[in-house]
DNA sequence: CGACTAATTGAGTCGCTTCAATAAGCGTGG
DNA sequence: CCACGCTTATTGAAGCGACTCAATTAGTCG
């Protein structure tokens, strides 16, 4: 049983639509699980036994071909929902990119609870629609953009999402639904070059070359391999190919 | 006002979860609209004023870059749901590929009705999750598959989906939820080469060359430019790169 | 039958990948 | 604290797959 009142993401996660009592009830059959970096929470195609809220850390959602080519289909940041409610099989593999904590529910119990609380189902719908929207946006990126445009898009998107995470970490009680925090100009990359390649449908060498190129023309700085500093955001926006 | 009892897709569309009375109520503020081939039902980024059920025909859902590159992000077959409930802006452009008919609802009225009928919202959730699943599957295709694998995947997927449409046309009253009809070996392509290219993130020439190659090695036959006959389905499955 | 569009085929180019070598971080233990 | 080894990233050179540009052929419809 988890302590929802102290939950870092209770204001942004799916739980935020519930009353205190309802949240306590849902929390009574959820529990917190630690997922170590590299550990896989669920495998694509296997039985969908659990759903979860990400409390902190970061996970990648991925699919792969039988011969081992991988495509990352999403990233799950704190407060994101994870898993396949009402479905018997997992649609993707979920692996922790850094040590993470998730609030885990058995799928069937969560399903039943959702059916009794339509507002939860409604919030799930909105979240799923949002994910669908960004997945489709990513289709355009993968299908039609050049390597340079992919990198620019990635940096802008990451800057935006990381800002939300940081915002929530700094002050998780004050919530401004819909209000977007200012994007970060200094990003600590949560993923290595190979994973950037797997997100953008490129190779590690191409990612590296594009980074070097952006640095050479003064658009970004690379203080160390996990940090990107955006010097010319406008340039990135003009060259993201949107 | 539309006549739901005579609706060709009432058994498969989102309406199927409603009681007869509810369906009549929903139908009372829906109306049937004809969309001619090439006509656009909604533009990406504009106000989300309507949602719709596809009754018959076929529409493409697409996004584009500012310089005109297009990516098709989905196809809407009869009984598919179209639009952005609970969202103020359209997430994609929807254009009829052939003369089509849709059952149109004003978005706000549909939203209100959905909130009063949780089972409709629940069905919407399941459909959205399904679309998300296939969108993510498509990310793997666009990001990691070769042109040949893309074409193979496309033919198999199309064969599967067209079979469902034909099944429903032949006998729209007998419903076997979950039961998949046998995939078709003779497909009438609902799209031209350019649109196949826009779906697969390729050029028209590459699509054409891949088709020619498959014909040369005896995997398919091309009786005319809108027909593909699958001679060796197993080969396609082995070379679809899943 | 002739004009138009869609599709195919060919030749050449380009961008990304592949393969290979070097360099830079980073943790460990001396 | 620095040397050492390991992992991760960068850079270079060569190859190839898909694209571009261009010409031809095959359908389609008045």
Interface residue ranges in chain A relative to chain B, Cβ cutoff 8 Å: 61, 63-67, 69-71, 73-74, 84-87, 91-92, 115, 118, 121-122, 124-126, 128-129, 131-133, 135-140, 142-145, 200-201, 241-242
Taking residues A135-162, what's their average pLDDT? 97
Q: What is the rounded CA–CA span in Å between residue A109 and residue B72?
A: 37
Instruction: Report the topology of domain A4-142.
Output: Jelly Rolls (2.60.120)
In terms of phi and psi (left: phi > 0; alpha: psi -120 to 50; beta: otherwise), the region of B229 is: beta
Chain A residue closest in CA terms to B150: A143
Contact A156, A183 (CB under 8 A): yes
From A136's Cα to the closest Cα of chain B, the distance in A is: 6
Instruction: List residues with CB under 7 Å of strand C.
Output: A 146-148, 201-203, 205-206, 209, 224-226; B 192-194, 204-205, 207-209, 211-212, 222, 225-226
Distances in Å between the alpha carbon of B229 and those of A195, B106, B183, B225?
39, 41, 12, 11
User: Would you state the pLDDT for residue A114?
Assistant: 97
The DSSP H or E segment spanning B179 is none
Q: What is the rounded CA–CA span in Å between residue B166 and residue B26?
A: 27
Q: What is the rounded CA–CA span in Å between residue A113 and residue B85?
A: 23
User: Would you state the pLDDT for residue B171?
Assistant: 62
| Cβ–Cβ below 8 Å for B136 and A136 | no
Q: Could you tell me the distance in Å between the CA of residue A90 and the C1' of nucleotide C18? A: 34
Beta bridge partners of A31: A104
Cβ count near B30 (within 10 Å) = 24
Give contacts of B121 with chain A, Cβ < 8 Å: 118, 121-122, 125
Q: Which pLDDT band holds residue A94 (cuts at 50, 70, 90)?
A: very high
Q: Could you tell me the distance in Å between the CA of residue A207 and the C1' of nucleotide D19? A: 21
* Location of structure tokens 């994973």: A195
Q: Is the pLDDT of residue A57 over 70?
A: yes
The DSSP H or E segment spanning B201 is none
Q: What is the rounded CA–CA span in Å between residue A237 and residue A155?
A: 10
Beta bridge partners of B22: none
Of the candidates A209, A189, A188, the residue with the CA atom closest to the CA atom of residue A199: A189
User: Would you state the pLDDT for residue A4?
Assistant: 85
Q: Is the pLDDT of residue A32 over 70?
A: yes
Interface residue ranges in chain B relative to chain A, Cβ cutoff 8 Å: 61, 63-67, 69-71, 73-74, 84-87, 91-92, 115, 118, 121-122, 124-126, 128-129, 131-133, 135-140, 142-145, 200-201, 241-242
B194 HSE (CA, 13 A, CB side): 4
Options 3.40.190.10, 3.90.1150.10, 1.10.760.10, 1.10.10.10; CATH for B146-240 is: 1.10.10.10
Q: What is the rounded CA–CA span in Å between residue B7 and residue B161?
A: 20
Of the candidates A108, A189, A112, A206, the residue with the CA atom closest to the CA atom of residue A151: A206
pLDDT in 10s for each residue of chain B, 242 residues: 557 888 889 889 999 999 999 999 999 989 999 999 999 999 999 999 999 999 999 999 999 999 999 999 999 999 999 999 999 999 999 999 999 999 999 999 999 999 999 999 999 999 999 999 999 999 999 999 999 999 999 999 999 999 988 887 776 555 566 678 899 999 999 999 999 999 999 999 999 999 999 999 999 999 999 999 999 999 999 999 99
The DSSP H or E segment spanning A73 is strand A70-76
User: What would the two tokens of residue A3 be?
Assistant: 């302590």
Identify, with chain letter, the residue nearest to nucleotide C25 (CA–C1'): A225
Mutation for testing the B interface, residue in A136, A147, A150, A200 having most B CBs under 10 Å: A136
Burial class (CB in 10 A: 0-12, 13-18, 19+), A212: exposed
Delimiting residues of CATH 2.60.120.10 domain(s) in chain B? 4-142
User: Would you state the pLDDT for residue A39?
Assistant: 93
Give contacts of B126 with chain A, Cβ < 8 Å: 86
Q: What is the pTM of this model?
A: 0.95
Taking residues A44-61, what's their average pLDDT? 97
User: What would the two tokens of residue B152 be?
Assistant: 């193979």
Q: Is the pLDDT of residue A83 over 90?
A: yes
Which chain C nucleotides are covered by protein, judged by CB under 7 A?
6-11, 15-20, 25-26
DSSP state of B67: T
Q: What is the rounded CA–CA span in Å between residue B63 and residue B69?
A: 9
User: Would you state the pLDDT for residue B2?
Assistant: 57
Burial class (CB in 10 A: 0-12, 13-18, 19+), A16: middle
User: Would you state the pLDDT for residue A180?
Assistant: 81
From A70's Cα to the closest Cα of chain B, the distance in A is: 7
Mutation for testing the B interface, residue in A129, A145, A147, A241 having most B CBs under 10 Å: A129
Spacing of C-alpha A239 from chain mean position: 24
Contact A16, A10 (CB under 8 A): yes
List the alpha helices (DSSP H) in chain A.
20-28, 107-116, 118-144, 147-170, 193-200, 204-216, 233-238
3-state secondary structure of A70: strand
Contact B131, B191 (CB under 8 A): no
Decide: CB of B241 under 7 A of nucleic strand D.
Answer: no
User: In this complex, which of A64, A84, A125 lies closest to B121 when CB atoms are compared?
Assistant: A125
Contact B62, B71 (CB under 8 A): yes
Beta bridge partners of B183: none
Handedness of CA A147, A148, A149, A154 (dihedral sign): positive
Taking residues A153-174, what's their average pLDDT? 84
Of the candidates B242, B229, B10, B69, the residue with the CA atom closest to the CA atom of residue B149: B242
Decide: CB of A87 under 7 A of nucleic strand D.
Answer: no
Contact A215, A232 (CB under 8 A): no
Contact A7, A103 (CB under 8 A): yes
| Cβ–Cβ below 8 Å for B135 and A136 | yes
At A165-217, the pLDDT tens digits run 888 777 655 556 667 889 999 999 999 999 999 999 999 999 999 999 999 99
Q: What is the rounded CA–CA span in Å between residue B5 and residue B144?
A: 45
The DSSP H or E segment spanning B200 is helix B193-200
| Cβ–Cβ below 8 Å for A125 and B86 | yes
Q: Is the pLDDT of residue A241 over 60?
A: yes
User: Would you state the pLDDT for residue A171?
Assistant: 62
Delimiting residues of CATH 1.10.10.10 domain(s) in chain B? 146-240
B120 HSE (CA, 13 A, CB side): 17
Q: Which nucleotide is nearest to A208 (CA to C1')?
A: D10
Contact B227, B186 (CB under 8 A): yes
Average pLDDT, chain A: 93
């Amino acid at each position: 049983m988890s302590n929802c009142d102290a939950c870092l993401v209770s204001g942004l996660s799916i739980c935020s639509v519930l009353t205190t009592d309802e949240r306590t009830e849902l929390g009574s059959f959820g529990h917190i699980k630690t997922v170590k970096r590299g550990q896989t929470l669920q495998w694509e195609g296997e039985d969908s036994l659990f759903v979860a809220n990400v409390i902190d850390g970061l996970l990648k959602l991925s699919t792969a071909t039988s011969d081992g080519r991988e495509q990352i289909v999403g990233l799950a940041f704190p407060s994101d929902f994870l898993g396949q409610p009402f479905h018997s099989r997992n649609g993707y593999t979920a692996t922790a990119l850094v040590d993470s904590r998730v609030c885990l529910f058995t799928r069937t119990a969560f399903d039943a609870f959702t059916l009794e609380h339509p507002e939860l189902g409604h919030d799930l719908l909105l979240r799923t629609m949002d994910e669908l929207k960004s997945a489709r946006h990513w289709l355009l990126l993968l299908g039609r953009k050049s390597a340079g445009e992919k990198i620019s898009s990635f940096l802008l998107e990451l800057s935006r999402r990381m800002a939300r995470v940081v915002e929530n970490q700094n002050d998780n009680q004050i919530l401004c639904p819909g209000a977007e925090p200012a994007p970060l100009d200094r990003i600590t990359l949560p993923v290595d070059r190979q994973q950037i390649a797997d997100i953008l449908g490129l190779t590690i060498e191409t990612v590296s070359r594009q980074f070097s190129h952006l640095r050479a023309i003064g658009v970004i700085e690379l203080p160390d391999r996990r940090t990107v500093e955006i010097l010319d955001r406008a340039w990135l926006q003009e060259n993201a190919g949107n």
